[in-house]
A = this chain, B = another copy of it.
Amino acid sequence: MIIVLRSEATQKEVDEVVARLKNLGFGAHVSRGVERTIIGAIGDEREVDLEEKIGVLPFVERVIPVLAPYRLTSREFRPADTVVKVGEAEIGGGKVTVIAGPCAVESEKQILEVAHRVKEAGAKILRGGAFKPRTSPYSFQGLGELGLRLLARAREETGLPIVTEALGVEELSLVAQYADAIQIGARNMQNFRLLEAVGKLRKPVLLKRGMMSTVDEFLMSAEYVLAQGNYQVILCERGIRTFEPSTRNTLDLSCVPLIKSRSHLPIVVDPSHGTGRSDLVEPMSLASLVAGADGLIVEVHPNPVEALSDGPQSITPFQFSSLMEEVKKITRLLGKEI
C-alpha cells in the first residue's frame, strides 16, 4: 500500500502515519519528493483495510493499493488452470465447452426438444431457467420446481448435465438437489449471502459478471465462494452496461484474456445476453473463443417466436447446429478440444 500525503503535511503528521502503520503491524518506508511525501506500507495489505484506516487522516491525499485484493482466486495463488467438472463435462484447461438451452424452461416438450437438439449439435451442458429474475413483478417468473423436474427429465433422456439459476438462499437446497451446477445471475453478483451459501455447497458455480462490475469486483465475488472452500467456480462474461443503446449490453471480450492472466478460474462467454440480438450470437461466439474463452453459454429455443422470455436473443436449434460447425473449426484452429 502506498500512502501519498498532502503537500502541506508536516513532519509530525508523517510520524503519525508511521506510528499508525506500526500499530497495525506494518513497516513504513518514507520517501520525500519535491512536492509530496509518500510512504510505502510494508506488510500484507489484504489483512487490514489500510484505505480506511489511513486514507481517512486529513493530511493523507490518497492511499493506493499495490496488490490485487483477491488471493485464492489469483493466478499467483494457483498458477495452473482450474478445470471444473460439471457432470462428465469439463470446463477449462484447453477445452472448449458449450452450454446451451432455453432462457426459461417452459414445458416438457420444449426442454426435451432443445436438449436433444443441442446435444446432437455438440453441446456438453444443458441450461434452462426454472427461477427467473425479472425486472418487472408482472413478467413470467419461471416454472419453479416443476421446471427443475423437467430439467432433470431432460438430463435423464440425454445424459447432459444441467446448470440452472438460484435467485436466493432459500431456494438453494432445492435447486442443488436437481442441478449439476448452480448459476448466480448478474444481478446477484454482489448478493453476498447467496455467494457465501453456494460457497458452502460442494457443487460447481457458474458466476455471471454484474453488468456494472469491474473485473476486480468480479474476481472478489468469486473469492467469496472460494473463501468458503468451494473452488469449483466458472466465471461468465455477459456484457456490461454502457451508453450504447444498439445492443442490450456491451460484451467486454478484452476481459477474457485479462482474467486469464489474473486468475486460474475458467471463463465462458454469454453472447446471448451480451448482445441481446440473435444475429450477433454467432460472430460474438466465435470471437469469444478466439479471445481465449473456455466455452460459451448460448440461448437456444425451438421456436424463439413463441418463447416466454428472451426470444429476441435466442437462436433456433438449426442456427445452433450451424454455429457449432463454426465453433468446431475455430476450436481445431486454436489447437483445443471440444
Contacts and interface: CB of A to CB of B under 8 A. Distances in A.
A284 B52 contact: no
A223 interface: yes
Contact of A167 (B32, B138, B192, B212): B192
**How many copies of the polypeptide does the oligomer hold?**
4
Contact of A215 (B58, B171, B246, B258): B246
Nearest to A72: B137
Contact of A240 (B139, B170, B244, B312): B244
Nearest to A20: B305
Contact of A52 (B243, B256, B310, B333): B310
Interface centre among A196, A241, A291 (most CB of B within 10 A): A291
A53 B308 CA distance: 7
Given A56-B312, A304-B56, A34 B44 contact: yes
Interface residues of A, number: 108
A326 to B, nearest CB: 9
Contact of A31 (B40, B190, B242, B253): B40
Interface in A169-224: 169-171, 187-188, 190-194, 196, 210-212, 214-217, 220, 223-224
Given A32-B42, A168-B168, 8 more contacts: A33-B66, A35-B44, A56-B312, A135-B220, A168-B191, A187-B190, A214-B245, A244-B255
